[in-house]
Amino acid sequence: MAKQNVKRKRPLIGMSYQGALLALLVFLIVLFGLLEPVFFHPNVLFNVTAIIGEIGIMALAMTFIITTGGIDLSVGYILQLSAIVFGSVYGSSHSLAQAIAAAMLCATACGFLNGIIISKTKIPPLVTTLATMNLYRGLSMIVAGSQTYSGFPEGFKQISTINLFGIVPIQFTYFLVLFLAFALFYSKGTLGRNLKGIGFNEQVLVFSGINTKRSLLFIYTLCGFMCGLGALIYLGRLSAATTSMGNDLNLQVITAVVLGGTSIMGGIGSVAGTFIGVLIIGVLRKGFTLLNFSGNIFNFTLGVILIIALVAFALLEERKRTSQRRLKG
């Protein structure tokens, strides 16, 4: 093979894909701005970043999971269950510290349960989390009954209502900081390397002396933990824990990740892509709200976007494969 003919390694998702995503983001902002000029107001634009806090941080953990070729369908109801636990513990103890601890513990335990089942048994992640999704949903309803929890202290609400410099929503800074950390571990850390390896071929890692089960257990537990954080941020913003708050969250989170260029088949992914994906979802949600579209239209659009993203990604991969064949032949 002559040197100049060999194909150089390029990032599997090149800038072109993320560039296209950014263009889509800008296009959507302009589109909504033209339809509803108030959209261009800085307060509105920054509000977009406020409403994506919880799905953003869940999407970061989900990027790790999907990179391994897995998935977690239960994220929405882990968030719901830990929010309900928060409400219930606060309602009986009136201690913020206890309520926060209980909520985080509950979320982490849920993630840990997913992780244990996925890493210790042969039940695939899809089936595991499909089942635990129902389990956590049921548990949250059992705890809450028909109750809605609210009346949290003002001090607590500040975790999601303060604006830094008078304009930047604080939950966006949480998301930003966590994004930087996740991006670092993903692209430069041993963890990220292992996750991609698991997504491509877990056996090779086992034969390299790597405990892949531990990595899997860790990321599903981490995902649970992030759902707990999401629950607190969500509660700070909405001030009420209900048994329907987690309903459509898993779709939003998965859509953000897949749209961001993480392959549902595993191995390939991008935390930066997820970041843009989350922003796109935020813009859509805000734009739809301003245009008085219902939440159902939003969900409908998300479902369509998810399917288009999956199909587009599959087509891109196919084209890359055929072009590689041509190069080799």
Q: What is the DSSP string of 261-288?
A: T--TTSS---HHHHHHHHHHHHHHHHHH
Asked if residue 110 lies in contact with residue 224, where contact means CB atoms within 8 angstroms, the answer is yes
User: Closest separation between CB of residue 319 and other proteins, Å?
Assistant: 13
Give the tokens for residue 170.
């604080």
Which residues 6+ apart lie within 8 Å of 115 measured at CB?
Answer: 216, 217, 218, 219, 220, 221, 224
φ, ψ of residue 145 in degrees (nearest 5): 60, -130
Give min distance, CB of 241 to other proteins, in A.
15
DSSP string computed for 6-39: SPPP--SS-HHHHHHHHHHHHHHHHHHHHHSGGG
**C-alpha separations of 42 from 51, 91, 166, 167 in Å:** 15, 37, 11, 8
Query: In angstroms, what is the minimal distance from the CB of 76 to other proteins?
Result: 12
Distances in whole angstroms, Cα of residue 50 to Cα of each of 44, 229, 318: 10, 15, 37
At its nearest, how many Å lie between other proteins and the CB of residue 251?
5
Would you say 113 or 159 has its CB closer to other proteins? Answer: 113
Which residue type sits at 223? C
Least gap, CB of 140 to other proteins (angstroms): 9
CB nearer other proteins, residue 100 or residue 249: 249
Q: In whole angstroms, how close is the CB of 127 to other proteins at the nearest point?
A: 5
Helix axes 190-206, 53-67, angle to 10 degrees: 30
Give me Rg for the CA atoms of the chain: 21
> What is the nearest approach in angstroms of other proteins to the Cβ of residue 206?
8
Give the residue with the Cβ less far from other proteins, 47 or 63.
Answer: 63
**Closer of 148 and 158 to other proteins (Cβ):** 148
**20 vs 204, which CB is nearer to other proteins?**
204
Q: Based on CB atoms, which residue is closest to other proteins, 46 or 293?
A: 293
Cβ proximity to other proteins, 45 vs 131, nearer residue: 131
